[in-house]
Amino acid sequence: MSQQIDRTLDILELLIENPEGLALGEVALQLGLPKSATHRLVSQLVERGYMERDAASQRYRLTMRLSVLGFRFLSKTGLTDICQPELDELAARTGELARIAMVDGDTMTWVAQAQGARYGLRYDGNLGRHVVQPATASGKARLATMSDDRAVGIVASLGFGDRAELGQNAISSMAELLKELETTRKRGYGIAYEEGEPGIAAVAAAIPASNPAEDCVGTVSVAGPITRQTRQRLDEIAPDVVNVAKRLSELWPIRRYQPLAPNPDSFHNVRKSA
């Protein structure tokens, strides 16, 4: 049973990275699975509505069912009720993309965003994807909250990311990582300049957990094209980002452990009037 679960999750993760779909033989080949076992698992996923087969190309691809489940989960936790009002306001003040990345074990995932750019170049981010931690402001902000040994362990496990997708300044060694984390701790926020993606710069701050002994729960960041997000501009935005992270830290446990209010706007209104 454990092997079947692992194989099923491997198939789902593979197709998440291949939204155009893959033929059954390609799925089996990439995962090193017998074709018969792959067909059985894929057929079960199709039957449950998590996958579908394109009649013309014979490729299998994911349906929106996983996305719906993910958004339903986020809605039930109340996470978006906390994040969105703050993100909307931060995006409006900075004129750039504001995002929240949530910590989940060793990994981080982009879970909420707000676009503040009203004209010209826009950066729309990668909502729902994992954060490449050593190459992003958010990842650095999170890694800087822990010991060097633990940060190195996480990066050793997850890697430095795909160089073909990263910017020219992306960190590629543990020595560079440790030096950057020391700078990030002293500065109080993370910065990435053409690291996570070419032509993009960002600034991020960790959202502390309510218990100082625990990891941070996530990060808040602002990102945009380097034509607007100069290094000087990142430092100017940083205090605002840090303050938003502190406010989210104070609000986070309230919405995480208490039932949601019937009116989805009521929490924002109370916060505004406080």
> Can you give the residue range of the structural domain that contains 165?
72-270
Shared domain check, 42 and 82: no
* Helical ranges in 113-230 per DSSP H: 137-143, 148-158, 174-187
Shared domain check, 151 and 53: no
Q: Of 43, 63, 83, which one is at a domain's C-terminal end?
A: 63
Q: Nearest 10 degrees: CA dihedral of 229, 235, 237, 240? A: 160
Query: Looking at residues 3-17, what average pLDDT do you find?
Result: 89
Query: Looking at residues 15-44, what average pLDDT do you find?
Result: 91
This prediction's pTM: 0.71
Size (the chain), residues? 274
Q: Over the stretch 121-150, which tens digit does the pLDDT of each residue have?
A: 778 777 778 899 999 999 999 999 999 999
User: Is pLDDT at 102 greater than 60 in this prediction?
Assistant: yes
pLDDT at 13: 86
Shared domain check, 40 and 140: no
137: left (phi over 0), alpha (psi -120 to 50) or beta: alpha
Shared domain check, 251 and 142: yes
Q: For the chain, what is the domain count?
A: 2
Q: Of 33, 63, 93, which one is at a domain's C-terminal end?
A: 63
Q: Rounded mean pLDDT of the chain?
A: 86
How far, CA to CA in Å, does 167 sit from each of 116, 135, 170, 195? 23, 8, 6, 4
Give the domain CATH number at 166: 3.30.450.40
